[in-house]
Amino acid sequence: MPASRYTVSDVMTHTAVAIGREASYKEIVELMHQWKVSAVPVLEGEGRVVGVVSEADLLPKEEFRRTDPSLPGQLEEASKAAGVLAEELMSSPAITVHPDAPVAEAARIMALRHVKRLPVVNALGMLEGVVSRSDLLKVFLRPDEELAEEIRQSVLTELTPGVNMDFAVQDGVVTLRGPLRDRALVPLLARAIRAVEGVVDVRMEELNGAVAA
Residue 110: how many other CB atoms lie within 10 Å: 19
What is the model's pLDDT at position 90? Answer: 96
What is the model's pLDDT at position 209? Answer: 45
- Is-contact 21 30, C-beta < 8 A? no
pTM value is 0.79
What is the model's pLDDT at position 80? Answer: 75
Rg of the chain in Å (alpha carbons): 23
Determine which helix (DSSP H) or strand (DSSP E) holds 209, and give its type and residue range: none
What is the model's pLDDT at position 74? Answer: 62
In whole angstroms, what is the distance from residue 60 CA to residue 153 CA?
Answer: 52
What is the model's pLDDT at position 73? Answer: 57
pLDDT tens profile 112-142: 999 999 999 999 999 999 999 999 999 999 9
Residue 149: how many other CB atoms lie within 10 Å: 12
Q: Smallest Cα–Cα separation from 59: which of 41, 74, 42? A: 74
What is the model's pLDDT at position 2? Answer: 45
- 3-class SS of residue 97: strand
In whole angstroms, what is the distance from residue 91 CA to residue 65 CA?
Answer: 21
- Is-contact 20 43, C-beta < 8 A? yes
HSE-CB for 129 with a 13 A CA cutoff: 14
Spans in the chain with pLDDT lower than 70: 1-4, 65-78, 206-213
